[in-house]
Chain A
Amino acid sequence: MRTEIRLAAFGGQGIILSGVIMGEGAINDGKNAVQTQSYGPESRGGAAKSEIIIADENIDYPMVVEADCLVALSQPGYDKYASEVKPGATVIIDSDLVETEKHPTAGSFYQLPFTKLADELGNRIVANIVMLGSVCAITGIVDKESLLEAVKANVPAKFLDLNVRAFTRGYEIGEQALA
């Protein structure tokens, strides 16, 4: 089975790294994964997009056709890609950064305060990892331990503890949102 995930945000919010970690988590699960990205020439601001395809079989076309899961951490990211999801898709937004009514065709729709939770953990920079934890809990696309292993492998040693806490916190609120 082929699962398509699209992460949309501004440059600087860390979603490309989130995508890399998600792909590596899937590899840790023994699956195939492709992660692609698009971003503007700016180092911050501008639109950023990270796409992950996860499948048991070989992955031919490496891009998202219709997302099974859309995560938006910016208003323009949501506005641009909200319509390009599969019917019944999972749509997840940062409740403080994206304003919208309930998504019209999503099978499930979650508004979670990733950035605010990251602030509470002491550093806004880990909002992308909080988000990963929640996506993991909500979608179950990647095994929790495999994903956490990938988080640890991709963050600076100095911030390892902060990132693990961010992931755990994200996973908790994801589970709560599911309940």
Chain B
Amino acid sequence: MEHTAIQSTSAKKHKPAQPFTREEFERVRRVLKKKVQFAQGDVAVAYGALLAGCRFFAGYPITPATETAEIMSRLLPQVGGTCIQMEDEIASVGAIIGASWAGAKSMTATSGPGFSLMQENIGYAAMTETPCVIVDVQRSGPSTGQPTEGAQGDIMQAKWGSHGDYELIALSPSTVQECLDFTIKAFNYSETYRVPVILLADGIIGHTREKIELPEYGDIQIIWRKEPTVPKAEYQPFADDGTKVPAMNVFGTGYHSYITGLTHAETGYPCTDSQPDHHQLVQRLCDKIRDNRKKIIMVERDYENSTRDETVGIVSYGVTTRTVYSAVKTLRQAGTPVNHLRIITNWPFPEQEVAELAGRVNRIIVPELNLGQVYHSVREAVDGRCPVTACGKIGGEMHTPREIIEAINGSAD
């Protein structure tokens, strides 16, 4: 996609995307049926998407993410949406980008092998500032690896998978309820910042069934993209209006649209040989996320009133957090003070939060279902304040609480 340009002329009948009415929300709730359900993570993702107003899904089936596509294919038509099975994952992201520009909130879901293929168009979404949600139900890799086994091996790829400088947002759910809740948050972030948002689920939580409770109208905030209101002749589609997030000129509203992955000027037209223009554009794409890190980054802290010398730190994210909860209880009962920082927003990385933890503990352990990914980000943020130990596990099984306790006791030597 070196130079994909789509030009729209005015389509008089088009209505720009409008926030959900209560009536529309209630319609989705009726389609989703019972308020309390025993559901899989993948299913909860689909429910979250529908409740957030997603009306377009394109995907290619892959274990362990297929159930999301199945539910979307069954339920989207019932709420007036569209679900397409594409020929592959490259096309899937292409389709959701197109749908987003046509005014629909859009999503795809995949696992590692598909996520690798999606990287090219994720970069395109970042460059063209296209709101969209990409669900990666991570499984063991590299390559096709262990299809039916969960993993947390795509954390770095989520941030660095496409080429060039860009920022995006990635969230890690640890329960089935969070699969629902964080999918709604993912849509809200993508609409607020006009950025692709990655939901970093995994094969374990994707296929785990748990009790979920569906929200009612008013329980949740639903955000829609900002659309232009200036006179059409004055509109500069990629100009900074002071927020670094321009109003989005959805196709068919009559505002001139020219979308390209090439470096573009504020008009949207390519300008590929000017250093200042490229710098201004890409710096803004990064800053619109970096400047808002405080609003975007979510963590959970469970800290004790203990001295630094006696306290050990654990940094966790995603499904591994649940093992850490168990391990922390046992450690505290045995008299070991523990400070646990759970990362919810993997990207942008919560550097300040990790650095602050490092000032309160004598060492940090990073359990994760890979051979060391977030470990590296933690070490960078800790910047020598205390030792950091990786505690990786691969092969499809979670750490047991005992394995984490042993890693902590072993790291004291």
A-side residues, CB < 8 A to B, are 20, 23-24, 27, 32-41, 59-63, 65
Q: Are B209 and A34 in contact (CB under 8 A)?
A: yes
Q: Are A20 and B209 in contact (CB under 8 A)?
A: yes
**Chain B proximity of A10: nearest CB distance (Å):** 15
B-side residues, CB < 8 A to A, are 36, 38, 63, 147-149, 204, 207-211, 319, 322-323, 325-326, 329, 396-398, 400-401
Contacting residue for B148 out of A24, A33, A39, CB 8 A:
A39
- Chain B residues lying within 8 Å of A32, measured Cβ to Cβ, are 210-211
Q: Are A61 and B147 in contact (CB under 8 A)?
A: no
Q: Are A61 and B322 in contact (CB under 8 A)?
A: yes
Q: Are A20 and B38 in contact (CB under 8 A)?
A: yes
Q: Are B36 and A60 in contact (CB under 8 A)?
A: no
Q: Are A60 and B211 in contact (CB under 8 A)?
A: no
Q: Are B209 and A41 in contact (CB under 8 A)?
A: no
4 residue pairs, one from A and one from B, having the closest CB atoms: A60-B325, A61-B326, A24-B38, A35-B209
Q: Are B208 and A60 in contact (CB under 8 A)?
A: no
Classify the interface of chain B: helix, strand, loop or mixed: mixed
Q: Are B211 and A27 in contact (CB under 8 A)?
A: yes
Question: Which B-chain residue is minimally distant from A154 (CB atoms)?
Answer: B38
Q: Are B36 and A27 in contact (CB under 8 A)?
A: yes
CA A40 to CA B63, docked complex, whole Å: 11
CA A175 to CA B204, docked complex, whole Å: 35
- Chain B residues lying within 8 Å of A33, measured Cβ to Cβ, are 38, 209-211
Classify the interface of chain A: helix, strand, loop or mixed: mixed
Question: Which B-chain residue is minimally distant from A28 (CB atoms)?
Answer: B38
Question: Which A-chain residue is minimally distant from B321 (CB atoms)?
Answer: A60
Q: Are B326 and A60 in contact (CB under 8 A)?
A: yes
Contacting residue for A34 out of B36, B210, B325, B400, CB 8 A:
B210
- Chain B residues lying within 8 Å of A40, measured Cβ to Cβ, are 148
CA A137 to CA B396, docked complex, whole Å: 34
**Chain B proximity of A62: nearest CB distance (Å):** 6
**Chain A proximity of B331: nearest CB distance (Å):** 13
Q: Could you write out 29 A-B pairs with CB less than 8 Å apart?
A: A20-B38, A24-B38, A27-B38, A27-B211, A32-B210, A35-B208, A35-B210, A36-B207, A36-B208, A37-B207, A38-B149, A39-B148, A40-B148, A41-B147, A41-B148, A59-B210, A60-B323, A60-B326, A61-B322, A61-B326, A61-B398, A61-B401, A62-B208, A62-B210, A62-B319, A62-B398, A63-B400, A65-B400, A65-B401
Question: Which A-chain residue is minimally distant from B207 (CB atoms)?
Answer: A37
Extra A-B contacts (13), CB below 8 Å, given A39-B148, A61-B326, A65-B401: A23-B209, A27-B36, A33-B38, A34-B208, A34-B210, A38-B148, A41-B147, A41-B148, A59-B210, A60-B322, A61-B325, A61-B401, A65-B400
CA A27 to CA B209, docked complex, whole Å: 11
CA A35 to CA B207, docked complex, whole Å: 9
Which has the most chain A C-beta neighbours within 10 Å: B36, B147, B322, B397? Answer: B322
Known A-B contacts A27-B38, A34-B209, A36-B208; the reply to A63 vs B398 at CB < 8 A is yes
Question: Which B-chain residue is minimally distant from A52 (CB atoms)?
Answer: B209
